[in-house]
Amino acid sequence: MNLLEEEIPVSAERESCSLENYLALPDRSMDDRIADARRKLGRSTILLGHHYQRDEVIRFTDFTGDSYKLSKAAAQTDARYIVFCGVHFMAESADVLAHEGQQVLLPDLNAGCSMADMAEIGQVEECWENLLDAGIAEDEILPLTYMNSSAAIKAFCGERGGLVCTSSNARAAFEWAFARAKKILFLPDQHLGRNTGRALGFPLGDMVVYDPWQIGGGFSAERFRSAKVILWKGHCSVHQRFLPEHVDKVRSKVPGVQVIVHPECRLEVCEKADALGSTERLIRLVEQAPEGSAFAIGTEIHLVNRLAKQYAPLGKKIVTLDDTGCLCTTMYRISPQHLAWTLENLVEGRVVNRIQVCDDVKYWARVALDRMLEVRG
């Protein structure tokens, strides 16, 4: 029988196991329970883990990667239940890409993304109207959104001829857009947008930041008309913490260190780094480096620590760019207790914390994601 037909029977009469009872227990007490639930669920359930997840959770996952890679991987399986150990926008993307019959669960609904939350759909719609009122013709500008955005923002871009990009193909997405329009509205990460614009040769004067909390976005209509790239005032709370002085400090402390950072970092940090890259590229740079190499990595601390442990036997020295630590607190919300609660409820026939994107939003978000496939990068 096709696994998609093997739906776990759900009893509407039974209430879910109390999450509070799980949260009172220590992490390690969940290990055997998670493993047992996984065995009982079998191939009906797939676990996805983003690179920034804590080790106590990620060691149980079937796939590890960035959000788009994980969503695609899940959609290519016959699993009926997709448990996404990540944050809310990632689970939404998985639901958008999932095929009929698949359901996406997020172990903790409070696991959001500070960057994605900085662009609310009502604010973006108001921004668009303000730009049109400023005299920018609708056929002059295309909206592009980073993968780290809500499904509603992705749909907004899809419906207006734009697309979604990742940190790997942001430059190609800009080139795609400028072949079709004179201007770009880039959401929601100003740093990735600014770094991409500079990589394409745009001077900083050609880029302006739209602040949704300021009247009219914070600038005159003339300033928006003169800009080539309109950046949304958003950022990653982890990557914005890295500063240029961190680069100088680590170079003075670690001889021969290579500084590699995520392009969500500030322009001043990226300009001082030896290389920029998506999470996947940062991992490859470490993996492909010769034994004895030294890296300072500007990204989330769980990934940095995991790489340091993994490559220590090869004599590779890996440290965080900022030794005060840069934890993604929202990603950290997914705990072994939340995972055990989610899985054991499934075993008992209860689907908890399901993430569902409404059909209209799902359609246009899928259009924006499919357009990304036209982009090389």
Report the distance separating Cα 97 and Cα 53, nearest Å: 22
What are the C-alpha distances in Å from 376 to residues 169, 244, 282? 7, 31, 19
Kindly report the CATH number that applies to the domain delimited by 239-320: 3.40.50.10800
The amino acid that residue 80 corresponds to is R
Q: Tens of pLDDT along 332-372? A: 789 999 999 999 999 999 999 999 999 999 999 999 999 99
Q: What is the model's pTM?
A: 0.90
Is the predicted pLDDT of residue 8 greater than 70, yes or no?
Answer: no
Report the distance separating Cα 21 and Cα 110, nearest Å: 18
Kindly report the CATH number that applies to the domain delimited by 3-111+331-359: 3.40.50.10800
Give the up-direction half-sphere exposure of residue 239: CA atoms within 13 A in the CB hemisphere.
29
The mean pLDDT of the chain is 92
Asked if 78 and 2 touch (Cβ cutoff 8 Å), the reply is yes
Question: In the chain, which segments carry CATH 3.40.50.10800?
Answer: 3-111+331-359, 116-236, 239-320
**Cis peptide bond upstream of 188, omega within 30:** yes
- Return the beta strands (E) in the chain as ranges: 45-50, 63-65, 81-85, 103-105, 141-146, 163-165, 183-187, 207-210, 229-232, 258-261, 275-276, 294-298, 317-320, 354-355
Q: Tens of pLDDT along 37-85? A: 999 999 999 999 998 888 899 999 999 988 889 999 999 999 999 999 9
- CA dihedral over 293, 167, 86, 10, signed as positive or negative: negative
Torsion of the alpha carbons at 44, 152, 334 and 7, rounded to the nearest 10? -20
Q: Tens of pLDDT along 199-227? A: 999 999 999 999 999 999 999 999 999 99
Q: Tens of pLDDT along 245-298? A: 999 999 999 999 999 999 999 999 999 999 999 999 999 999 999 999 999 999
- Which CATH superfamily, name and number, covers 116-236? NadA-like (3.40.50.10800)
